[in-house]
């Protein structure tokens, strides 16, 4: 069963690992249309998960508790993102994490996969804005960094599941993108899935193939009329002066304050401003909008953001996969997805654990 299915990236990888998706849940219409267009035989439930009755769904699927092999999903992550407002569990999107755990506890699958942003590792259960913290402010247990993850893990433990969790870099698994995500693998009956070893590395001393690059991802792609959201002339005039692999720091010193505006004197690395990608490195993390000022994903040679199909290549969707909706919705679907390659290696890890369990039972 697939939750928060989006454009089906995680599920495509799980299919490649041998799983069959019998039910998928997604609330956004364009995302649902994408799944139905490409997987017409999948039972897609277009609904708010918090308003669904899991027992009714179980009855409709003619399942008994404990029969399901795997539940997989990545609850909306904005509540925990370090780039967002860090509303954490106080945000309805953060509470979807707990709804997902509730469904796991009711269906009792043999294994589950929970994917989320790396920010969950440092997020508090309750976030107090800095403006509201006085000089004598002392954080409560719920306001301590990492308390959200500790709470999630405690709820999973109460359900009787054991977990392995790890921060993974997708580039280490052959994805042409340095995307860091927290992955939790859960098991009901022991025999925890082991995280697969890296297949690629940025260090030649490791003896593994090198990280796959943007050039690898886009090789052979032919687009007569690329679909993308263009830059304004104001921004394009600066991007024309940025070489492949550069960003706003590549501009002449005298132009940097003008180009950056108020962001020039702000803190942080600001690596995404006026960023032009390099052919010979993996893509940075694909976001939901490649043309936003702070998350530029400009083509290495052309003065435009990456196209929808180029975006999809980086996330390893097949070229035949059709995305529904307008251009911005297509970017959003792709940017929110789990790369197909990561889904595949996680699926293989779960399959290996299930096979080992079956072998022990037969013995």
Domains of the chain, with CATH numbers?
2-205+337-362 (3.40.50.150), 228-306 (3.90.120.10)
CA distances from 183 to 18, 99, 163, 329 (A): 20, 17, 10, 25
Cα torsion 150, 153, 155, 159 to 10°: value is -160
pLDDT digits (tens, 9 = 90+) for 259-294: 999 898 887 779 999 999 999 999 999 999 999 888
Which two tokens mark 148?
A: 């959200």
Distance CA 175, CA 342 (A): 7
pLDDT at 73 over 50: yes
Q: What is the residue-wise DSSP string for 78-115?
A: TTT-TTTT--GGGSHHHHHHHHHHHHHHHH--SEEEEE
pLDDT at 363 over 50: no
Distance CA 140, CA 74 (A): 28
Nearest to 55 by CA among 106, 112, 109: 106
Helix boundaries (H) for the chain: 9-16, 29-38, 54-60, 92-107, 147-158, 214-218, 233-239, 256-260, 308-314, 327-336, 340-362
pLDDT at 97 over 70: yes
- Write out the catalytic residue numbers: 77
142-146, 191-195, 196-200, 344-348: the lowest-pLDDT one: 142-146
31 contacts 46 by C-beta, under 8 angstroms? no
Distance CA 188, CA 108 (A): 7
Instruction: Tell me what pLDDT residue 125 has.
Output: 81
pLDDT at 257 over 80: yes
Across all residues in the chain, what is the average pLDDT? 91
Instruction: Tell me what pLDDT residue 350 has.
Output: 96
Neighbour count for residue 266 (Cβ, 10 Å) = 9
Distance CA 171, CA 111 (A): 25
Instruction: Tell me what pLDDT residue 129 has.
Output: 73
């Amino acid at each position: 069963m697939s939750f928060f299915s989006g454009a089906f990236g995680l599920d495509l990888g799980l299919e490649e690992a041998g799983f069959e998706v019998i039910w998928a849940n997604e609330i956004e219409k364009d995302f649902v249309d994408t799944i139905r267009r490409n997987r017409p035989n999948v039972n897609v439930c277009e609904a708010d998960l918090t308003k669904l009755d899991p027992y009714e769904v179980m009855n409709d699927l003619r399942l008994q508790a404990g029969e399901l092999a795997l539940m997989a999903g990545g609850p909306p992550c904005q509540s925990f993102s370090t780039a967002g407002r860090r509303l954490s569990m106080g945000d309805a999107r953060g509470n979807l994490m707990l709804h997902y755990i509730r469904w796991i506890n009711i269906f009792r699958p043999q294994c589950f996969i929970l994917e989320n942003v790396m920010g969950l590792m440092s997020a508090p259960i309750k976030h107090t804005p800095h403006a509201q913290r006085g000089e004598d402010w002392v954080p409560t247990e719920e306001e301590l960094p990492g308390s959200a993850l500790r709470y999630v893990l405690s709820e999973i433990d109460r359900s009787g599941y054991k977990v392995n969790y790890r921060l993974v870099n997708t580039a280490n698994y052959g994805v042409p993108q340095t995307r860091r995500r927290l992955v939790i693998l859960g098991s009901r009956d022991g025999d925890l899935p082991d995280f697969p070893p890296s297949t690629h590395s940025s260090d030649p001393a490791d003896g593994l193939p090198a990280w796959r690059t943007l050039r690898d991802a886009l090789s052979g792609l032919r687009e007569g009329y690329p679909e993308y959201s263009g830059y304004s002339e104001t921004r394009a005039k600066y991007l024309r002066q940025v070489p492949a692999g550069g960003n706003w720091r590549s501009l002449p010193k005298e132009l940097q304050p003008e180009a950056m505006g108020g962001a020039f004197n702000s803190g942080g690395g600001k690596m995404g401003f006026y960023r032009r990608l390099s052919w010979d490195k993996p893509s940075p993390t694909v976001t939901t909008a490649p043309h936003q000022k702070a998350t530029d994903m400009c083509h290495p040679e052309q003065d435009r953001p990456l196209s929808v199909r180029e975006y999809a290549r980086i996330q390893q969707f097949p070229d035949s996969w059709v995305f529904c909706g307008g251009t911005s919705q297509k970017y959003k679907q792709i940017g929110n997805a789990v790369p197909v390659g990561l889904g595949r290696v996680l699926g293989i890890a779960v399959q290996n654990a299930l096979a080992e369990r079956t072998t022990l039972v037969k013995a």
